[in-house]
A = this chain, B = another copy of it.
């Protein structure tokens, strides 16, 4: 699936690989020391590239690089939920996904790499908003497909609006994560996922 961080149609294979190496190196550097205090020199040193190479791939400099790193971190949010998120065809798959989400965020704790970048870019800037909206849309589409599977097999009510139910699930996870990041407690994320799945199951035709 093409995403913002890999959509580089005009690059050669070698160029795309270099661009990817810069993004991965910058992402690692930012995870270690934060977005504000990471300089382009740090990224050059870590990725063995020159400043002119960085500006070749990211003409907008640090801000454009941060946006590409944010897109990479957004991809990672979904990748960390795979393979479960992509094949929510049974209750077992849904519960495996639930466990993967809990494990991911338990490990992540109160520091969110994507949140750090969005804050640095300015959460209300159009670029940051578009990036977040794109992540949410993809997340919701995957959950919607899973809900339709359950509807097709008669596991849950066909009267539910699959898209809105998926939107509610994304919100539930996002809220649980926000509360985890704000309080250090994972119990709300667990309650949100478990309650949502339990209630969905109740609608069985």
Contacts and interface: CB of A to CB of B under 8 A. Distances in A.
B179 A192 contact: no
A13 to B, nearest CB: 34
Interface in A80-127: 110-111, 118-119, 123-124
Nearest to A170: B188
A172 B102 CA distance: 16
A3 interface: no
Interface of A is mostly: helix
Given A110-B124, A199-B203, A191 B174 contact: no
Interface residues of A, number: 45
A187 B137 CA distance: 12
Interface stretch (A26-34, A60-68, A161-169): A161-169
Given A136-B188, A188-B136, A171 B172 contact: yes
A86 to B, nearest CB: 22
Given A199-B199, A199-B203, A168 B191 contact: yes
B183 A172 contact: no
A133 B183 contact: yes
Contacts of A18: none
A175 interface: yes
Contacts of A202: 157, 199, 202-203
Interface in A189-205: 189, 191-192, 194-196, 198-200, 202-203
